[in-house]
Amino acid sequence: MGLLLFLLPIVAYAIWWQASGRPVLTPSRGLLLGLAVLISGGMGFALWYGFDRSLDAGLRYVPAVLTPQ
């Protein structure tokens, strides 16, 4: 349901754009390649960071405790 609510404005805008008769703008191949590199790099960094900061198997998470000094 959340995905539909997210995509609804994008689809509505695309339909409106098509109905208005404006020419479709196509991005250049270099822009698409750059975006693909950035997105895959971001996903790779997120995976690396998640695995780097995760606990080893069998360890239990103990939250920090604030004590007065």
**6-54: per-residue pLDDT in tens?**
999 989 988 888 888 777 678 899 999 999 999 999 999 999 999 998 8
Burial 11-34 (b: 16+ CB within 10 A, else e): eeeeeeeeeeeeeeeeeeeeeeee
User: Which residue would you say has higher pLDDT here, 55 or 69?
Assistant: 55
What is the model's pTM? 0.53
pLDDT mean over 56-64: 88
Q: pLDDT at position 35, please?
A: 94
Predicted confidence at residue 46, as pLDDT, reads: 95
Integer Cα distance of 23 and 17 in angstroms: 9
